[in-house]
Structure 1
Amino acid sequence: MLHYRMFCTLYRSMREIAAQNPQMDAPEGSAQPPGSEEGVDISRPQPSADMRRDLPSPLPAESAALPAHLERLAGRARDYVEVASSANTRRAYQSDWKHFSGWCRRQGLDPLPPSPQLVGLYITACASGTVSGDKKANSVSTIERRLSSLCWNYAQRGTPLDRKDRHIATVLAGIRNTHAAPPRQKEAVLPEDIRAMLEMLDRGTLRGLRDRAMLLIGFAGGLRRSEIVGLDVGRDQTEDGRGWVEVLDKGMIVTLRGKTGWREVEIGRGSADATCPLVALQTWLKLARISHGPLFRRVTGRGKDVGPERLNDREVARLVKRAALAAGVRGDLSAGERAQKFAGHSLRAGLASSAEVDERHVQRHLGHASAEMTRRYQRRRDRFRVNLTKAAGL
């Protein structure tokens, strides 16, 4: 990740190069950029009020002082900074900083410079449910996410926060010991569940055909919900795409851009057309008349028209939940419990739990760095396969 401090260093280097090479200055007769008057130090970013309260800008405040050709380069660098993390991550960072700075403002405190004692009080308020606007106390996972967001935001401002400081680490350890709960994993949808869920979708509407393709590709590919909706029909077709599909005789190749780089996922043909991801995809593309751009789009006009906009990833979670409830998956639970069990990750966990192949193939398919991470997704597959009670002689 390109941090704000690193970008400021890059910016100052560009300024020094421009100062040492007069021929690189703006053309004669051009207007002097603001902030270049004598006696004003423009080699150091000057934090603005917006930078103190909101998500920091990836450019220093005086970027207009650059010569025109370097200003264009700085604009490109800003674009790279913005795509260094996903849109969801940036939204979470911004939301958590707003939550923290709002709490500081109500206490009459300034969030800058970073104070471990202040952050320790803040996470205590989050754990006790005394932050105005929160309906209840934050969970441990939420507090840890907020703390990570604060560290990131402070780093972008060039004032790092050490989360290992004793004022923070000790309070956080106490919060974990007091409030930590076992992890709540989403229920895996298994092949028989997928078949039942497909029966709940209307094959006579474009929305139903789209949803069938999303469920089958998401399950067979072990894809995250953002990866499903981030797909394009082909390579380099949209700026916000996260991958594309290539249809072959024996299946399709899904190329994905993830946190650690690009990877390819092979999705083979199914044993029957009704459950084949490739057939579902080709049917959707043909009847929706999609040949370029986002693969999965909004269906409008009472289900008869397909819009140009890419589907939001939250729609995948809603689809899985709605179809699982309609199909009666985990009917042994109450309606409220079942509603909490299913989400987009149920597809990914379902493949990991049901694919009867060597674990290494599942790990590579899901793009996991370790086998341990893959095992976390295997909800039922290995339970009691090895019985140490009998092996011990009982």
Structure 2
Amino acid sequence: MLHDMSENHEKSSSGAANGSSFNEDNERNHPDSEALSLPSSVAGSGTLDRLVDTARDYARAAASDNTLRAYAKDWAHFARWCRMKGADPLPPSPEMIGLYLADLASGSGPSPALSVSTIDRRLSGIAWNYAQRGFTLDRKNRHIATVLAGIKRKHARPPVQKEAILAKDILAMVATLPYDLRGLRDRSILLLGYAGGLRRSEIVSLDVGKDDTPGSGGWIEILDDGAVLTLNAKTGWREVEIGRGSSEQTCPIHALEQWLHFAKIDFGPVFVRTSRDGKKALEARLSDKHVARLIKTTVLKSGIRAELPEKDRLALFSGHSLRAGLASSAEVDERYVQKQLGHASAEMTRRYQRRRDRFRVNLTKAAGL
């Protein structure tokens, strides 16, 4: 995936000599993974060419599809900005990157100022793209580090967290769904995602069995007492145990069994699209965007936070609301919640707990006041 650095310098200098600027269309037509190739000193062969293709496949799997899409957009935006300023994004220039960050924060152009977290993500995307092209971006360079530190000091705000979906909320949301095939599927998605504290990408990546499909992100084993989900998540492989509920109406495992039975799914993706009339399960795996749309739709239909305008209600909830809901609602030892969510630290788990422990311990009174 790495360009030879001298080759990049040669291309950059030859482009400048010809009076040509960076061509964004050419950049789009040459994916980063295609940059991985044999050294110029090694003669190609059928075996080596196949290994190059295999290595490119592994390189593309180094990050999630969502991350790769975000990084591609970050690079395209930065490359376009450089072109408009009469500069070339290759090789990396800390001075230009510092000016780019300042432009993003100030909102001096037609676009509004970006949040600190978005600017930080843009910088990560740019650094990642440089790495794929054989360059190293020194984020500690004073032209970058001091500008970014100033942006954070001047513009940083508390993180905006999505609202947690609590137990009463998920029951109200599920109650809005019909009992046709599509409704069975969506009911299973909501209950399983909530009880498992799953990311929306984890929900839709599940297969019925191990190694059912190449694009699988995990599989399900249904047992008498519940189900064990084996997930290949962003923190590595982990197992998630989801026990059976107190009633069939609210049990995520019963909902899953109902969906699999009536959809006649015993192999491949667990959650697939349905026909237009909602009566037949198709083969195509659902997109994770369906989970986000499902949450917002059922939130509106169920009347959650009905005192707010519709636009504000939609902005409050997302796929992460399921994970935050489990963390906030489960009255158990924090260690179990941390394990279920797959967090490396208890501090990260506490970020998901929306007001659960607020004023539970009153240090004012404990201090004698």
TM > 0.5 fold call: yes
Deviation, 1:103, is 0.7
Pairing 1:150–2:126 present? yes
Deviation, 1:285, is 0.8
Paired residue for 1:71?
A: 49
RMSD: 2.3
Could you give the per-residue CA deviations for residues 64-114 of structure 1, whole angstroms, max 9, x where no partner exists? 952111111221111111111111111111111000001111111100110
Pairing 1:53–2:53 present? no
Paired residue for 2:18?
A: none
8 Å CA contact 2:189, 2:203 repeated in 1: yes
Deviation, 1:140, is 1.3
Paired residue for 2:203?
A: 228
Deviation, 1:300, is 2.1
Paired residue for 2:96?
A: 118
Q: Secondary structure at the match of 1:364?
A: helix
- Structure 1 Cα separation of the partners of residues 52 and 11 of structure 2: 18
Q: Secondary structure at the match of 1:163?
A: coil
When the two structures are superposed, what TM-score results if normalisation uses the length of structure 2? 0.90
Paired residue for 1:388?
A: 363
- Structure 1 Cα separation of the partners of residues 88 and 231 of structure 2: 42
Paired residue for 2:71?
A: 93
Q: Point out the more displaced range, 53-62 or 206-215.
A: 53-62
- Structure 2 Cα separation of the partners of residues 326 and 240 of structure 1: 33
Deviation, 1:60, is 3.5
Could you give the per-residue CA deviations for residues 225-257 of structure 1, whole angstroms, max 9, x where no partner exists? 000001011110111110010100000000000
- Structure 1 Cα separation of the partners of residues 312 and 364 of structure 2: 32
Q: Point out the more displaced range, 174-183 or 352-361.
A: 174-183
Could you give the per-residue CA deviations for residues 139-177 of structure 1, whole angstroms, max 9, x where no partner exists? 211111100011111111111111111111111122122
Aligned equivalent of 1:168, options 130, 139, 144: 144
Q: Secondary structure at the match of 1:241?
A: coil
When the two structures are superposed, what TM-score results if normalisation uses the length of structure 1? 0.85
- Structure 2 Cα separation of the partners of residues 60 and 187 of structure 1: 43
Deviation, 1:61, is 5.3
Paired residue for 1:4?
A: 2
8 Å CA contact 2:36, 2:56 repeated in 1: no
- Structure 2 Cα separation of the partners of residues 104 and 45 of structure 1: 17
Deviation, 1:329, is 1.5
Aligned equivalent of 1:138, options 91, 114, 124: 114
- Structure 2 Cα separation of the partners of residues 322 and 170 of structure 1: 43
Moved over 4 A (4+): 44-52, 61-65
- Structure 2 Cα separation of the partners of residues 157 and 316 of structure 1: 35
* Structure with greater contact order relative to length (CA < 8 Å, sep ≥ 6): 2
Structure 1: segments with no counterpart, 5+ residues? 10-40
Paired AA for residue 175 in structure 1: I
Q: Number of residues paired by the alignment?
A: 355
Deviation, 1:59, is 3.9
Percent of aligned pairs with the same residue?
58
Deviation, 1:199, is 0.7
Q: Point out the more displaced range, 231-240 or 322-331.
A: 322-331
8 Å CA contact 1:47, 1:61 repeated in 2: no
Aligned equivalent of 1:297, options 261, 267, 272: 272
- Structure 1 Cα separation of the partners of residues 213 and 10 of structure 2: 36
- Structure 2 Cα separation of the partners of residues 45 and 306 of structure 1: 53
Aligned equivalent of 2:326, options 338, 345, 351: 351
Paired residue for 1:192?
A: 168
